[in-house]
C-alpha cells in the first residue's frame, strides 16, 4: 500500500508513524471488502504530537455500503477497552473510499465529534491499489475540517 501526496507540508506538528505490518493489514482488509467501504482502528501509542501505530484492528461494518462506513459499536468498544487494558490507545480511525479520492467526505467530517484526539486514515483505490492519506480533523466555526498530517512508515 502507498501513502499518497506530499503530506509533509503542513503547519501542524502532529505526525503518524505506522509499521509495515499494520499498513499491510489495512490494505488486505479494505481490499477484501471491495466494493464496500470498510475500516477499523489503529492501535499504538502517542508521545507528544507523534502517534505510533503498530496494530490494525479491523471492525465489521454495521451495514454494507459503497458510500458510507460505520463500525459495529460493540466491536469498536471491545477493541478500545482491550487497548486501554494493555496501556495502549487508539491512534487513528481507518476507513476506505473505494470510489473516492482519499479525502474525507462531508459525512466523515460531520461524524468527527467523538474522534478529535486521534488521526484519521482514508484509503482510496484511485490508482487500482489501496493508497492512504492521513488527516487530523479540527473544529472551525463552520464545523470540522481536515488537515493533512505528516507520516512515516516504520522499518520492520
Q: Is the pLDDT of residue 78 over 60?
A: yes
pTM, entire model: 0.87
Cell numbers given for 107 = 459525512
Report how far residue 131's alpha carbon sits from residue 121's, in angstroms, rounded to the nearest whole number: 10
What is the pLDDT, as a whole number, of residue 7?
42
Write down the H helix ranges in 33-117: 73-85, 106-110
Q: Which residue has the higher pLDDT, 54 or 70?
A: 54
Domain boundaries, the chain: 2-154
- The residues, ordered by sequence, that sit 6+ positions from 71 with a Cβ below 8 Å of its Cβ are 39, 40, 41, 59, 60, 61, 62
Report how far residue 114's alpha carbon sits from residue 86's, in angstroms, rounded to the nearest whole number: 22
Cell numbers given for 45 = 501509542
| CATH superfamily assigned to domain 2-154 | Cytidine Deaminase, domain 2 (3.40.140.10)
Q: Please identify which residue in the block is written with the cell numbers 505510533.
A: 52
CB 68 within 8 A of CB 98: no
Write down the H helix ranges in the chain: 20-32, 73-85, 106-110
CB 27 within 8 A of CB 16: no
Q: What is the pLDDT of residues 86-126, one digit of tens each?
A: 999 999 999 999 988 888 988 888 776 566 689 999 999 98
Amino acid at each position: 500500500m502507498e501513502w499518497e501526496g506530499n503530506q509533509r507540508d503542513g503547519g501542524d506538528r502532529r505526525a503518524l508513524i505506522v509499521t509495515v505490518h499494520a499498513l499491510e493489514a489495512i490494505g488486505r482488509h479494505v481490499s477484501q471488502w471491495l466494493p464496500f467501504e470498510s475500516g477499523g482502528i489503529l492501535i499504538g501509542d502517542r508521545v507528544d504530537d507523534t502517534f505510533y501505530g503498530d496494530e490494525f484492528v479491523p471492525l465489521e461494518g454495521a451495514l454494507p455500503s459503497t458510500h458510507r462506513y460505520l463500525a459495529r459499536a460493540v466491536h469498536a468498544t471491545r477493541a478500545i477497552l482491550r487497548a486501554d487494558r494493555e496501556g495502549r490507545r487508539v491512534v487513528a480511525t481507518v476507513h476506505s473510499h473505494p470510489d473516492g479520492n482519499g479525502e474525507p467526505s462531508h459525512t466523515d467530517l460531520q461524524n468527527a465529534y467523538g474522534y478529535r484526539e486521534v488521526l484519521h486514515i482514508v484509503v482510496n483505490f484511485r490508482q487500482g491499489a489501496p493508497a492512504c492519506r492521513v488527516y487530523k480533523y479540527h473544529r472551525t466555526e463552520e464545523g470540522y475540517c481536515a488537515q493533512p498530517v505528516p507520516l512515516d512508515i516504520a522499518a520492520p
